[in-house]
Structure 1
C-alpha cells in the first residue's frame, strides 16, 4: 500500500514556521516492509499471511524543530489457498494385488487453518478413495497391468491445491487355464497314422499373457504309438485291432507357471475283423465208434478280435456227412454212426466254418477222435456197409446192402443179411452166415462155422477144422487146410476138400466134389454128382 507524507502530516500543525516534512518513517508493530519510492512517498507491504493492526512511527520536522508521531492501518484478513507441502509419491502394486495406501496427513496445509477436503480424479471401478481416512483401497483386476495417473485435490471450500501421482500395476505371469479334456476327430480301427497337432491339443487351453506349448504327450502302448515329428506335430498309429477311446496324457505349459495336466481322447471306431479262429469248448472232440445218431461229440466256438460278435456254425468239409453241427450253438453230434469205425479210422477230420454277424467266416480243421469199443455189436442198414470188428468176439450184421464184413481177431458172429456180401472171419472161431444173396465168404484161421444161405456163394474156409454149408444156390466151397465138414446143400455145387481129412456131402443137385489131400469121405447125395 502507498503511504504519503501528506497522509502522515494530516494531523501535524506548525504555527510559525515553514511547512513540515517527514524525516523518518518505520514500522513500529505488525511487521511488514517499507520502501521509500521518492521523497514523501513510501510503499508498505504487509507480512505474508498477516492480518491485523500495523503501527508506524515517524518524525515531522520544519527544519528547526521536530516532533514524533504514530500512524496505524488495519490489514484485513483474506482466504489463502491450500498449499502442497510434500509431493505425493508414486505407488506400485502387482497385477491382481491389493491396493492400500494413505496420503500423509501433512501433504497439504492451509495457513488460514481452514479444514481441507480431499478429492480425486475419476478412479476405475476397482479402486476407491476414503476422504475421511485419506486412504486408497482396492484389488487390481485379473489380467490387468499398466498404470493410471491419479490427481488428489485439497480444497478449503474456495481455493484448492492439487498433485498427481502414478499408480502402476506391474504384470505377473498368469498360469494356463484348461477348461476340460480335448476330443480329437475319430478314426477307424487299424487305420494308418493320423496327425495330431499342438493346436488341437491346446483347443481347450488359454493363457492371457503367454504362449502355450504341449509337453509330455503319451498314450498307453496297448492303444497305439506316438511319433513326434517336431514343431508340435505327432503321428498316432492305433495298435492292431484296438478299438475304443485312445486317451492321450500331456501337460500345458507357458514356460513359467507349473504345467497343467490334462487329457485328450480319440475314438478308434471298431471295424469288423471277422472270425480269427474256432476253438473246442470243454473236452476234446471224441465219440465211440458206431455211436447212435445224436451222440454228442463236443462243442466249438468261434473267436474274434471284435467285441459283441455272434457266430453261426456249419461244416465246410464233413466227409460222408458223418457228423452234424448245430448252427447256433456249435454243438457237434453224430449224424451217421455206422461210418464211425475205429478199426477203419481212429479219427476223422472235419472243417468247421464259423460265420459272424457280418457274414465273414473262418474255417478251422479239427480232429475228432474215435474210441474203440470191444466187443462190437453192429447192424448195417440199407447201404453197402463196411463193418470191421476188433480183437474181441464181435457181432456184425450186414443189413440190406452189398456189405463187406470183417470179423478181425476173436470168435465173431457175422451175418451178411440180404445182399451180395463179402464176409471175412479172420482169426478166431467164427460163426458166419452169408444170408440171402451171392456172397463171398472167407473163414480165415480158426474153427469156423459157415452158412452160405440163399444164393450162389463162394466160400473159402481157410485154416482150421471148419464146418461149411452152402445152402440154396450153386455154391463153390473150398475147405483149404484142416479136417473140414463141407455140405453143398441145394444146387449144383463145387465142393473142394483141400488138405486134411475132410467129409464132403453133395446134397441136392448135380455137384462136383474134390477131396484133395488127406483121407476124405465124399457122399454125393441126390443128383448126378
Structure 2
C-alpha cells in the first residue's frame, strides 16, 4: 500500500509540473483523432449528406466529422460507389428507382449482414423511411455475401408525383467472425528521423495530407525560437523533408479543418483572445484570412461538428472563464454565440469533441467525466444541451469514442484502475443506438499512469485495437497496446518494443500508415526533462517491421461463378484485395483460361479481370488467377458460364437506295442476302415492312425479303422504309435495314460551261459565237434558248448553237447579253459581258458629182462639192483635203478645208481623166478616205448618177421584191440609156427594167451581197454599187409520215411501224431534232424513238375507237423550231347484230295447217 501511495504521489507531481494546456490538448486530441485514421476495419459505415446544396459550397458527403461517422482502415479505406450526385437524388414518377453499390474492402472473416437505407424528405425533415412507405426503415438482408464482394441494391418507390425526395444516406452493417491468430505479433518499431527539429517544448503534431499528394504530412507547433506553426512534408514512404515554418503565433491550440471546402486542409489557431483562420493555398504555404475576437483567452478550439444541421462546420471554443467560457462560432452565419446548456455549465477543462450517440439527428458532446450533453431542442437556431452522467470512477485522462461492436452506433472506450491496484482495466460503454450505455470490461494489464489513448488496427488482423501511453512502475514512459483477439475473447496487452523506457511526459499519440507499407505506424511525441527548467521535446514517427520466415500469399475470398451471355461485350470482375501477403511483399498476378474460347486479361490499374468469349461460343470454362511474392504462390479459381443467346437474323440489301428519275416508270427490285450462324440455319425468318409513306407501290415476299418497288404517277419525294427480319425467337429476334426511295420531280437545266467575256470593235460586222454545250438538261428535256441585251445598240439572236451579235453604227461601250435556256418548266440564265472598243471612223464624204462631163460648148467652170460626214463623237477633228491624179486635161482649183473643186476646160484639150480627192482627219488610224471624180472632155457627155437607192434588207427565203430605180441615172446629152446589173454572189439575182429592178435570193441563203447597176449611152458607161442584206431565218424541221393513217381490225394484232422522212436545209443539218408525242388517248400502245421519230403502234386487247395523235419535231432553235404531223389510229372490233325490222302479230285457229311467215330484214349486222 505504501508503494502504491508513493507512486501516485510521484505521478501527481510529474503531472503538475507539465503545462496545463498539455493536459487539455491530450484529452481533446484523443477524441479528434477518432475520425482521422484510427477506426477499425471492418466497422459500421454511415455515409450521409451533410446539407442541401447551396451556392456557397458543395456538400461534403463523406467528409470526416459531418454529423456522421465513417470507417477508415489504416491500410485500406472502405469504398462506397455509385451514389453521391452533387445535388442528391431526386425521385419522380419517371425516375422511380435508385441503385446503390457497396464495394467494401473487408477482412476475409467479415460477412455482410444487411443494408439499411436512411432518407430525408425535402426541407431536411429528420427521419428514416422506406422510399415507398414514409416513416419506416428499409432492411435488405445480404446473408451469404462474403467479404470483398460488391453488393448492388435497387430501391423502388411508388410516388404519384415528384415531391423532391432526396436519399440522404445509407448504412452498411456487417460483423466479424472470430479467427485464430496465424502467428504471434512481434513487431519491432524504429523511429524515422525528422530533420531540423529542435525545441525545448512542443505540443502535439497532427497527421494530415496538407499537399494532397496521397500521403500523411505532420503539422504542429513549437516554442523555439517562438511559438510557431511548423510542418514536416512527407515526400513518400515516410521520407520527411526539413521542418517548414508556416507562421508565427502566440498560440495555445490549433485544429485542422477545410473551412473553404477546396479539399486542402486549413488551420484554425487559438491565439490569446483571438481565433485566427489560416487558409491552405495549396503550395505549401498558409495565409491568414480572418481574425475573430472573443474577449477571453481561448483555451481550446474544435471545428469538426455541424451543431445546427445547416451543412457547415461550426467551431466550439472554450476559454479560461467558467462563467462565460464556451462559445459556438457559426460556420455559415459567421457569428459567435454562447453555448446554451440547462442544468449545469461546461467546465473549460472538460470540453470534448461532439459526436452523434443517439437517434435524434443532432450531435451530442461527451466529456472526460463521461458525461454526455444531448441537444433535444433548438433555441434561436442553436441546440440547447442537457447533461447526463453515464459512468464514474474511471481514469479521465483519456477516452475514445468508436463503434466497438460494429452495430452502427457510437460506443466509448475508457480505462479504469483495477480496484486497490494500479493495473489498468480497459472498458467499453456499449451503446444501444439510443444513447443508453452498458459498461463492459474488455481486458487488463500493465501498471500504468495512463496519459493518452487512441484506437486502430495495430496488428493488421482486421479488428479494432486500443493503443495507449503512460508510466510503468519505474515511472518510465512507454507505449502499449490492448489487442483485440476476436469476439468473446479478452483484449491482450503488450508493450510495444522500441517505444519504451523513455523519460518524460507524453504530448501526442497518433496512428497511421506513414511510410505506405500497408501496416500501422505510430506517431508519438513527448517531452524529455531532467527538471522543469531543463527539458526538450522529442517527436518521432515509429514504423514497424515483422520478423520471420517468408509467408505465402493468401486468397481472401473465392470468386463467384460468372454467368455471361454469348456474343456480349467484355465483363469485368473485381479482384480488389483478392490476395494478401502477410509479409507485405509485392505480389505479381497472372490469369489463365482452361478453354481457349474464353479469354481473360488482368487490368492491374483498375484491379479487375476483363473476361470475354469468342463469337457464337457458349459453354463453360475455368479461369485460374494466381499470385506470387517471388518465393511462394497461391491461386483462386473462377467458373465462367457462357449462356447461349440467339443471333439476330442479319441481312444485306442489294440496293440501299432506289431512284425514279422524272419520266422514269416501271418496277425496280431489291433482293436480300440473309446470313445466319450454322447452329440457327433451321430458323424460319419472316420479313415485314415499316414506315411506308406511300410514294411507291411496295410488294414484299415475306419469305425471301425480295421487294418490288413500282412508281406511282403523280407522287414525288423521298421515303425511308424499314425492312425487318424476324426469326421468331424469344430474344434478339429482329434485324432491320433501311431502304431509301427517291422519286424526283423535274430537274432544271444546268449551266455546264462558261463563256469568256467577249470583245468587239466599233462598226464590226455581225459575229457568230459558238455556245455549244453551254447548257444541258440532266433529264434530257428539250431546251429552248433565248438571248436579251441590256443595250439597244447591241442586238443578238440564237441560231444553231451559236449567238450572232450585231452592232449599231458608231457604237462602243460595255453591255451584258442574258443567255437563257428553259425546259418549259425551269429556266437557267448566264450574264455574258460584251465589250465594244471604239475605232476611229474614216472621214467619209460624198461628192456632188462623181462623173463630170465638159462638152465642146462648155465655157464656164464647173464646181464639185464634198459633203463631209463625221460621227458626233468625232466632230471636233480637223479634216484636210488633197487631190492626186490630175493629168492636165482641165484646170482644177481645190479648197483644202472644204474639199470644193473648181474645174475649167482647157481649149483644144480633150480626153478622160480620173482624179482622187482624199480627206485626212489626222488621226493615228483610219484617217484617210478617198473618192474618185471622172472628168471627161468630149463632144459626148456620159450618163451620170442622179439619185440613190436605200439599203435593202431581206430575210432568208423571202419572195422576190421589186425596187424602183427611177432617177438613178440621167444623161446630160439626153442620150438614150441602156441598163445592166451584176451580183457579187450567185445566190442573189436581179432583173432590171427601165424604172425598177427585181431582186431574188436562193432558198436558205443569207448574207450581204453587192449588186452593181450599170447605165450606158452607147459610148460611156456609169456604174452604181448597191449593198443588200439577207438576214438568216431558222427553217422549221419539216417531215413526212410514211403512214398518216393506220387501222387495226378485229383480228389484226401485229404491231405497225410509222417512219418519218425529215427534210432540213443543208446549212441546218447539224441541228439536233427531238420528236415528241401528244394527244395519245390510250387506245393503243405507242413507242416513240425521240431521235428518229419512228413510232411502234400495237393494239391493246379490248380497246376500240379512233385516236389522233400529234408527232412534233423540235430543232431546239429560238424560232421556227416546231413542225407537227397528225397520225390517225383506228381500232375496230366485232359488233353484235341489231334488230332492224318487225313482225306483225300472228293469229292462228286451232287445228290450222302450218303457215309460212317472212322474216326478211328483221336483223342486220353492223359489221
| Bigger Rg, which one | 1
Q: Same fold (TM over 0.5)?
A: no
TM-score, with length taken from structure 2: 0.15
